[in-house]
Amino acid sequence: MQVLLLIGRRIAATVPVLIAVALIAFVLLRISSGDPVAQLAGDNATPEAIAAIRARLGLDQPMIIQFLQWGWRVLHGDLGTSIVSGTPVLRLIGQHTAPTIAVSLMTMLVSVVIGVPLGVYAAWRRGGIVDQLTSVMTTAGFAVPTFAVGYVWIYLLSMQAGLFPVQGYVPLSGGVGRFLWHLTLPVLTLSFVYIALIARVSRTSLLEVMSDDYVRTARAKGLPERTVIFRHALRNAAVPIVSIIGIGVALLIGGVVITESIFNLPGLGRLTVDSVMARDYPVIQAVIIVFGGVYVLINLLIDLSYAAFDPRISLS
Q: Judged by CB, which is closer to other proteins: 194, or 291?
A: 291
Query: Alpha-carbon Rg of the chain, whole angstroms?
Result: 24
Closest Cα partner for 265 from 195, 187, 192?
A: 187
Residues 75 and 54: their CA atoms lie apart, in Å, by: 23
In the complex, the residues that contact other proteins under the rule CB under 8 A are: 16-21, 23-25, 28-29, 31-33, 126-127, 131, 135, 139-140, 142-148, 151, 154-155, 159, 204, 207-208, 250-251, 253-254, 257-258, 261, 272-273, 275-277, 279, 281, 284-285, 287-288, 291-292, 295-296
- Report in angstroms how near the CB of residue 171 gets to other proteins at its nearest: 24
Burial category of 173 from C-beta neighbours within 10 Å (exposed 0-12, middle 13-18, buried 19 and up): exposed
Minimal CA–CA distance to 253: which of 216, 281, 286, 292? 292
Q: Of 290, 303, 263, 313, nearest to 25 (Cα)?
A: 290
Minimum gap (Å) between residue 100 Cβ and other proteins: 12
Q: Which is nearer to other proteins, 3 or 156 (CB)?
A: 156
**In this complex, which beta carbon is closest to other proteins, that of residue 90 or of residue 144?**
144
Distance between CA atoms of residues 99 and 105, nearest Å: 10
Q: Provide, rounded to whole angstroms, the least separation between the CB of residue 158 and other proteins.
A: 10
User: Measured from the CB atom, is 128 or 171 closer to other proteins?
Assistant: 128
Q: Kindly report the number of other CB atoms within 10 A of residue 213's CB atom.
A: 8
Work out how close the CB of 260 gets to other proteins at its nearest, in angstroms, rounded to a whole number: 10
Q: How far is the CB of 244 from other proteins (least distance, A)?
A: 14
Choice between 88 and 293, CB closer to other proteins? 293
Alpha-carbon distance values, 251 to 141, 142, 146, 299, 316 (Å) = 13, 11, 11, 13, 28
Residue number with CB closer to other proteins (24 or 223):
24
| DSSP-assigned beta bridge partners for residue 88 | 81
CB of 311 to other proteins, least distance (A): 26
Q: Given the complex with other proteins, which of 126 and 231 has the nearer CB atom? A: 126
Q: Collapse the DSSP code of 170 into the 3-class scheme (helix H, G, I; strand E, B; otherwise coil) and give the result.
A: coil
Whose Cβ is closer to other proteins: residue 99's or residue 292's?
292
User: 270 CB contacts (<8 Å, ≥6 apart)?
Assistant: 96, 260, 261, 264
Helix ranges restricted to H, the chain:
2-30, 36-41, 47-56, 63-75, 89-124, 129-143, 146-153, 176-210, 213-220, 225-227, 234-263, 268-278, 281-309
Closest distance to other proteins from the beta carbon of 283 (Å): 10
Cβ 285 to other proteins, closest distance in Å? 8
